[in-house]
Amino acid sequence: MAEITASAVKALREKTGAGMMECKNALNEASGNEEQAIEILRKRGLATAKKKEGRIAAEGAVGSYIHMGGKVGVLVEINCETDFVARSDEFQQLVKDIAMHVAAAEPRYVSREDVPSGALDKEREIARAQAKNDPKNANKPDQVIDRIVEGRLNKFYEETVLLDQPFIKDTTGKTVGELVTEKVAKTGEKITIRRFTRYKMGEGIEKRADDFSNEVAALAGQ
* pLDDT the model gives residue 219: 53
More confident residue, 210 or 2: 2
Q: Are 58 and 184 in contact (CB under 8 A)?
A: no
Q: What is the mean pLDDT of residues 112-117?
A: 93
Q: Assess whether pLDDT exceeds 80 at residue 172.
A: yes
Length of the chain: 222
* pLDDT the model gives residue 8: 86
Domain 6-47 class, CATH top level: mainly alpha
Distance between CA atoms of 56 and 4, rounded to whole angstroms?
35
For residue 80, list its beta bridge partners. Answer: 59
- pLDDT bracket for residue 211 (50, 70, 90): low
Q: What is the mean pLDDT of residues 85-111?
A: 96
Q: Assess whether pLDDT exceeds 80 at residue 17.
A: no
Is 6-47's fold the same as 55-200's?
no
* pLDDT the model gives residue 130: 86
Please state the domain extents for the chain. 6-47, 55-200
pTM: 0.67
Asked if the 55-200 domain carries CATH number 3.40.980.10, the reply is: no
